[in-house]
Structure 1
């Protein structure tokens, strides 16, 4: 049919979703949107394909198979890790482009919004999903932009949960995994009390600002009072932890961003620590206080040590 149109045919005959009196009917929706994807106006209003599909099912009593081109439930969905990663990168690239830029995202022939579909279901997570899929879900739904180096550990935690559940995981379940594993994990180290004091002093002709951090922490159930100075809250707290039995470590990566707007804005910090034995662990912290988010991320990282 499409080759016939290219050869000069002025019309084609068919049925919505290819279901007519008998078999073998042309699916006019597929042909029209194939033309649309190539920049040809099919002169059919298909901007709300979801409603069209609902009416079709209501009037005929027939279901639309989930893999039906354009209208199927799973058409704009990727479970495969490599596909998810390509889509995630393509969608990220579009945020830096002009809004009128041509659509060019791997595995997505057209912009789902053009036919009334949404982005939310593009990447769905099961046990076969890759390391970047879960990170995409957290960024799209919760504004959490995890550093790429943290994607593998998140992906492993989500895959384990999906294997156990033997089903696809919802976005809220993925967030719950992240929250439990990184934001609320108090298995080894907990902060009981924390205070910071900013101190100004002189070094030769320059004024030097330091932070004095005092804290009461619980390490495996035992409370310990600690205190140390540093270049800032994170440096001071990390140095003070040397006064506990916690493993010695150095911070080898730090990322931070904000989520929310106005009075509801919070800072989210991601910290990678490298212990003396060479093992590396990622932690995450979230707080309305920028300095506290980084401190919580260090605590989170230490709590990843089994």
Structure 2
């Protein structure tokens, strides 16, 4: 066997910046940054012209005001797409800036500016890698040569845009990226940016954009924040500069890096929806935006119909949004765990009891964001499989049937759900759980036991105590008598029984057909309000001579009849629960 190598020894730790008086750790985010979507250029470079067209319209509709649309010098397709945007009336909203990208090459810069002639608002973005690695490996440049090229290209952009009278109909802005910023000597970045700024001559009204990319994420987010704060504190004429971020996600911490770097002074963030882009992707603009939302800050982007945004992204990019992606993933507002389901159910119940409005403060276990705010339904919150607990099915029954199940019934029905999920080998749909509950407790039809006719009367076999003069004798403590006709498996039986109330009198009457039940628990609540209110009754029973507990459910406009139906539901379930017990014993064995 060959000797094991030690590959980690060929890497060295990224050197942190010496910034002992850093201020960003005590800052908080209190507003949305300027956003630039780079989906059409950096999110997926294989989009067709028609896909870009639909995607651009979606980005503008949800609120992005700066959109990098192409790399016009890279292909005729990108150039033609840019011209189509510029030349088609009504396509680009008046307040939306089109941004195009070019490397620091004079011929490519000219082609890039040409693509934007006639645009209302145009940002010309040029970039030059400034790190020692790129200077040495890619360009074979010295620092002086890098500085000279950046300055010369900035002057060229100026001469072709704001200094050219023929382009006066366009509002021009300029962006420069010292690509590989995070791997470049901090003071050299300042030197290059100062030279570029002097060449462009920005103003407070039209600042220059210095985009500071973590082209490859090389260090922890706090190091990037230090680099941004150092730049913001040491660049001159800070009021004439928009500091922009472009974090990549090689270490999986682009979102954290972008948030800390904003605290460190950045004004703008470039990224892609759901983090698409080169390698591990650009920073995820959806996560950044909705992170602000959950802190009470509007991101100025409309994510209220996140599903349609996902559809557009997946259709155009041919890249699925991962089911666990923050906010957008299909499972991120779903709970399978029993304890999670129970906590969420209680949270929604409390909101309903407190009559919380849609826009009241949101406080919900396990759900930092109201699913309704991103176009998700509450029905999708809880998903039930054979491993789920009692709360999940109970929540679905509450939402679907308005039945607030007692805890004991939740436990009992969860076993029924688990058995069905095991039989099917998958999770159950809410409609399937609702139907299963209706079948288990015979809400629509009880084929075994049903009331044909009945009467509840007072047992007057003994005389009431003499009443006071002018008063009616009191009989409230007398026994009650059930007399009526009960259908048992399709056959009608006349039954009679005595008890201290309607439920116990029917229970005693059922002994005439061989059903001997003792009532252990009783709960009821109203369904609906006003004249159409119904009573929901839950009765727990044990079969005489057994510890087997069964539940019955009854719903009726009449409270008494609701309770009688519930008892017959429990009677029908005695044999079913014996079978269910055998199933769980076999499963455990």
Which category of TM-score, normalised to the shorter sequence, fits these structures?
0.7 to 0.9
Give the Cα separation in 1 of the matches to 2:400 and 2:497. 38
| Among candidates 288, 291, 301, match of residue 557 of structure 2 | 288
| 1:31 equivalenced with 2:288 (yes/no) | yes
Matched-pair contact (CA < 8 Å) for 2:449–2:569 = no
Give the Cα separation in 2 of the matches to 1:191 and 1:149. 24
| Among candidates 237, 247, 252, match of residue 506 of structure 2 | 237
| Among candidates 448, 472, 475, match of residue 208 of structure 1 | 475
- The CA RMSD measured in Å over matched residues stands at 2.6
Deviations 1:54-112 (A, max 9, x none): 23234434332222211122111111212211211222222234435532212211111
Matched-pair contact (CA < 8 Å) for 2:441–2:569 = yes
**Count of matched residue positions in the alignment of Structure 1 and Structure 2:** 304
Comparing 206-215 with 48-57, greater Cα deviation is found at 206-215
* TM-score normalised by L of structure 2: 0.48
Q: Gapped runs of 5+ residues in structure 1?
A: none
Q: Which residue of 1 aligns with 2:267?
A: 10
Q: Which residue of 1 aligns with 2:371?
A: 112
Matched-pair contact (CA < 8 Å) for 1:255–1:269 = yes
Matched-pair contact (CA < 8 Å) for 1:18–1:28 = yes
| 1:267 equivalenced with 2:535 (yes/no) | yes
Give the Cα separation in 1 of the matches to 2:353 and 2:531. 27
Deviations 1:97-155 (A, max 9, x none): 44355322122111112222221100011112112211110001221111111111100
Q: Which residue of 2 aligns with 1:193?
A: 452
| Among candidates 64, 83, 92, match of residue 349 of structure 2 | 92
Spell out the pairing of 1:5-84 with structure 2 (5 A cutoff). Answer: 5-20=262-277, 23-84=280-341
Structure with more of its chain in helix, by fraction: 2
Comparing 268-277 with 24-33, greater Cα deviation is found at 268-277
Higher relative contact order by CA 8 Å / sep ≥ 6: 1 or 2? 1
Q: Gapped runs of 5+ residues in structure 2?
A: 1-257, 468-472, 576-589
Give the Cα separation in 2 of the matches to 1:154 and 1:287. 21
Shift of 1:213: 2.1
Shift of 1:27: 0.5
Assess, with a 3 A threshold, how the Cα gap between structure 1 residues 59 and 222 changes in structure 2: closer, same or farther.
closer
Give the Cα separation in 2 of the matches to 1:119 and 1:168. 17
Give the Cα separation in 1 of the matches to 2:317 and 2:298. 28
Q: Which residue of 1 aligns with 2:496?
A: 227
Larger Rg: 2
Shift of 1:258: 3.0
Matched-pair contact (CA < 8 Å) for 1:213–1:229 = yes
* TM-score normalised by L of structure 1: 0.88
Give SS of 1:54's match: helix
Shift of 1:222: 6.8
Give SS of 2:474's match: strand
